[in-house]
Chains A and B, each alone.
Chain A
Amino acid sequence: MSASPAPALLIDDPAVLVEALQRQGWRVIGPQARDGAITYDPLTPGATLPKGLTDTQEGGHYRLGAGDPGRWFDYVVGPQSWKKHLFPSRQKLWEASRTDDGFAVTPVQDDYPKTAFFGVRACEIAAMEVQDRVFDNGDFADPGYGRRRAATLIVAVNCTRAAATCFCASMQTGPRAKAGFDIALTELATGTGLLVEVGSDRGAEIVDGLDLPRANAAHRAEAEAASAAAAAMQTRAMPPGMAGVLAANLDHPQWQVVADACLSCGNCTMACPTCFCSDVEDVNDLSGDHTERWRTWDSCFTVDFTYVHGGAVRRSTASRYRQWMTHKLSSWEAQFGTSGCVGCGRCIAWCPVGIDITAEAAAIAASPVPKE
């Protein structure tokens, strides 16, 4: 996606853009209010975008409720991330059948039509770019992921408010998307529409057909200010330099403190938009003549995750929490050249007991174990 010099435009109703995408043959996946939360599901033709909703989030707490009825995007990230579409939670890799002289492998058709993700937040674009380094990296690429990613158009929504669990500003991943989108929307003062920015040629093609009015400098300034306000209202932050701090504090007593609270349930890793671990399972039928290989989301919080002959390596919850957090914030940088955390706050909100990664980081940073 190349940066486009196209001028910013204005749109009154974001649903017009959804309909335009659908008319042009895009499957649109976007926010839906389902089961008391914002989820990312395919928008059937005629489906309405949620409006007038806002969320309240804290450690282990999420409530979707009524907000300003005139506003489209006053909620922020919910329980799911776009990961579930690019890296499905359960996926058949191949199947095989017994033949007279061995077995024959049948590859699986990966049916992913051209798809527009509608309403992608800046931290979520950052998360996709983190997963790109894991799955779409040349030497060890996952071809299915690469195909899905290439067939996906990104319509970003810049946040104009933050939840109490958000800390993207401290991770430098938001709240304003600088790149990585085809089209970006920023909601202006209630009732005055949304700023439309174009980030790629294919984004421009879609927007050109809508005959939208041009935005002026004041609109742009207002959008920038709204994003700045969303950054300023963030109450959580990741302390700086955690990669080094954690690497130097592998025996810190805080690991046991957090383990006493941790359920080792795996919710943080499932909700995280960058966690990428999977398990592979062979499923044969009763006759033994047919088998399938399935890949499913796995978590470093399970015992089986480190099972080798004779037992599991990480038996204690302290060792498993430490693995997750040090990988996310420290060894990820050595492995992939970025932090594995984008500051979306899902691991805080969707932890049933509200464990807060920023608080855990701060506790260790505040009392490092002295070097012997």
Chain B
Amino acid sequence: MMLSTKTGMSDFIYKLTSYVVVTAVALLCLLPVILVFSASFSSEESIYQYGYTLFPKSFSLEAYRIVFESPQALLGAYGVTLIVTGVGTLLGLLITSLLAYVIWRKDFPYRNHLAFFIYFTSIFSGGLVPLYIWIVRYLEIKDTLWALILPNLTNAWNILIFRSFLNATPASLVEAAKIDGAGDFTIYRRVILPVAIPGLAVVGMFQALYYWNDWYLAKLYIDSEHLYPLQFFLYRILNNLQAMQEAIASAGIPIPDMPSQSLKMAMTMLVATPVFFLFPFVQRFLVKGITVGSVKG
């Protein structure tokens, strides 16, 4: 090739730079995960002596042994999170898809009013306190699972994303179904939902991820230990030795003897593990949603 070696050299440096930069950032993204993983397998004494390290100075399964011997609280928190994520995602999808379908129907006379009614909540809110007092004093769902499920069932963003999936559906499908005498609800259930499965998957994944990772609603509204969701369970352990002792109560270890530094790390790994396994299967849905969302602006 006559293309000068200068271009070749420059492109080589470009390639090198790009791989170095991307690899470095990727390593930094993984590093904390590796560090916590390693710390969870370190013996408590080695942490006291050397601190947390990249590789365990002295390997120990003690922290995991203690958790597995007394797993009731952790399993309970898993149960709460599974219920909240399952019920919340399903209810959320129902509401989201219904609203999106209605504002997508061009022949619905109030579609603009309804769209504004939804959109306005994303630019103005009463703030934390009015909602808090309303939930605690008037709705009286404090310290129930509903307080973890209902406050964020859907939002303008999810509805917008789902509607953009509907936009890809030809309106003629609706017309054809109408001619066959199908009602509006039948059209939604028989015609729209089957076509909109990718949209349901995308919005459902966002919603499920939100519920799975939420700790904030529990911090505000949950008092009873048996209703702690997973992330809040972990949050409490990190901030409170008492909470850690309760979490492994049946192991009956007094606070001063608990290997608290390695236990924190082991608990974190046990809370995060499902995400590591599910993430590869789930991520493409979120990528799709982000791409659709970014096109919509």
Q: Do A and B bind each other?
A: no
